[in-house]
Amino acid sequence: MEIHWVTNDIVSLVADVLQVILFIGLYAFARFLTNDRLDAHHKAQARGDVSILFGCCAVLFVKLILQSVEVEYQRKDGFVTMSDAVIATVCYVAVQASQWLQYLSVRRILAMSDRDCRATKRFLPLVAAGGLLMAWIHFGITFFDTSLIKYQLTDETFNFSQTTLICMIFTQTIFPADYLFAFTVSGCYLEILQRFFLHPC
């Protein structure tokens, strides 16, 4: 059973790191988009979604702090080992980093001019489809995380410390920002795909 859990943790870690690498590449591409390549109309249309993504990222940074404190106290309470705590914390940081990278990338990509849209049709639709898939996977993982925390909070046999319980309760109240981020960023990726397929650039 211990090998099974360690394998799950390592798979999650590898998946999160690969996700960060993908979005670093997307961010590097977005950084090369100079202001003259952006379209004012597209930029104005995306302003609402971009504002929501920024707000979600800011709130989810608080969630990252709470989860890091929570996993440290779970380690002190003897529920997880040091290696489990380190892997979990790295995964939390990787997820938060990928969310900020998506925000920084999507806000510029959505504002791309039609001319540059045409120039990227060989790879950007594939990246947008991958981002859409990962957004929905993140939504599903968030659902299972909230279900797990609800179970742990209602089961008295866990005997968590008071600090751990407080962190878990506050984390539970922030999870809606995860859902909102996943929905909003998936909508952004769908808009990118729409520009390629329903309204070709």
For 177, the token pair is 């920002």
Residues 6+ apart with CB under 8 A from 109: 26, 29, 30, 33, 124, 192
pLDDT for position 190: 93
C-alpha gyration radius of the chain: 19
Percent of the chain having pLDDT more than 70?
A: 94
pLDDT for position 2: 47
pLDDT for position 164: 81
The Cα 173–Cα 18 span in angstroms is 28
Round the average pLDDT of the chain to a whole number and report it: 87
Please give the average per-residue pLDDT across 77-84, as a whole number: 84
pTM of the model: 0.88
Residue found under tokens 């866990």: 158
pLDDT band at 199, cuts 50/70/90? low
Lowest mean pLDDT among 13-17, 109-113, 115-119, 138-142: 115-119
Lowest mean pLDDT among 137-141, 151-155, 172-176: 151-155
Percent helix, strand, coil in the chain (nearest 5)? Answer: 85, 0, 10
pLDDT in tens, 142-162: 888 888 777 777 777 777 778
Please give the average per-residue pLDDT across 81-86, as a whole number: 88
Please give the average per-residue pLDDT across 106-135, as a whole number: 88
For 64, the token pair is 């990252």
pLDDT band at 198, cuts 50/70/90? low
Contact 186, 140 (CB under 8 A): no
pLDDT in tens, 10-44: 888 999 999 999 999 999 999 988 888 888 888 88
Contact 85, 71 (CB under 8 A): yes
Q: How many domains does the chain have?
A: 1
Q: 120 is in which domain, residue-wise?
A: 2-197
Kindly tell me if the per-residue pLDDT of 115 is higher than 90.
no
For 148, the token pair is 């797990």
What are φ and ψ of residue 111, in 5° steps?
-95, 5
